[in-house]
């Protein structure tokens, strides 16, 4: 609660209805945009085939068996 109070100190001192500076808008909007892109793109890169940490697991062979019981 105290941290929120300290973080909002500048907002409380600003006069109601006064304009917000361009740099402030740019930093807040840009930060949010980077955060949203990180949330969307981050997992895609983490689980993609281009991830250098991932190891290939190729299929080397396969087998199929079919058991049919015809006792009707």
Q: What is the pLDDT of residues 5-31, one digit of tens each?
A: 888 887 788 788 888 889 988 999 999
Q: Are 14 and 8 in contact (CB under 8 A)?
A: no
Q: Which domain holds residue 45?
A: 21-49
DSSP assignment letter at 17:
T
Confidence category of residue 62, pLDDT binned at 50, 70, 90:
very high
Sequence-distant (≥ 6) Cβ neighbours of residue 51 within 8 angstroms: 45
* All residues at 6 or more sequence positions from 48 whose CB lies less than 8 Å from its CB, including other chains: 54
If you average pLDDT over each of 6-10, 32-36, 58-62, which comes out highest?
32-36
Asked whether residue 16 is assigned to any structural domain, the reply reads: no
Q: How far apart are CA 68 and CA 62, in angstroms?
A: 20
What is the mean pLDDT of the segment spanning 45-54? 73
Share of the chain above pLDDT 70, in %: 93
In a domain, 28, yes or no: yes
Domain count along the chain: 1
- pLDDT of res. 51: 67
């Amino acid at each position: 609660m105290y941290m929120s109070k300290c973080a909002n100190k500048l907002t409380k001192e600003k006069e109601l209805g006064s304009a917000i500076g361009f740099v402030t808008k740019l930093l807040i909007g840009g930060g949010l945009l980077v955060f949203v892109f990180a949330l969307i793109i981050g997992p895609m890169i983490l689980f993609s085939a281009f991830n250098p940490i991932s190891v290939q697991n190729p299929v080397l062979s396969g087998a199929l068996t079919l058991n049919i019981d015809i006792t009707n």
